[in-house]
Amino acid sequence: MKYFVLSLGIMGMITGCSMRPKSFEGVVHARPQAVASLIGQSRTQIHSRFGVPTLSRTEKTQSLWSYQSDSCALLIYFDKIGVCQYAETRGKCQ
The rounded distance, in Å, linking the Cα atoms of 34 and 50 is 12
Q: How sure is the predictor about 2, in pLDDT bands with cuts at 50, 70 and 90?
A: very low
Classify residue 47: in a domain, yes or no. yes
Is residue 18 domain-resident? no
Residues 46-57: pLDDT tens digits? 999 889 999 999
Q: Is residue 12 part of a domain?
A: no
Residue 10 lies in a domain: no
User: pLDDT per residue over 52-86, tens digit each?
Assistant: 999 999 988 999 999 998 888 999 999 999 999 99
Domain that holds residue 62: 23-91
Residue 82 maps to a domain: yes
**Is residue 38 one of the residues assigned to a domain?**
yes
Q: In this structure, how many other beta carbons lie within 10 angstroms of the beta carbon of residue 82?
A: 13
What CATH number is attached to the domain comprising 29? 3.30.1450.10
- 3-state SS, one letter per residue, for the chain: CHHHHHHHHHHHHHHHHHCCCCCCHHHHHCCHHHHHCCCCCEHHHHHHHHCCCCEEEECCCCEEEEEECCCEEEEEEECCCCEEEEEEEEECCC
- Residue pLDDT, tens place only, 9-25: 444 444 444 334 444 55
Give domain status of residue 44, yes or no.
yes
Query: How many domains are contained in the chain?
Result: 1
Q: Which amino acid is at 59?
A: E
* 90: pLDDT strictly greater than 80: yes
- Domain membership of residue 42 (yes or no) is yes
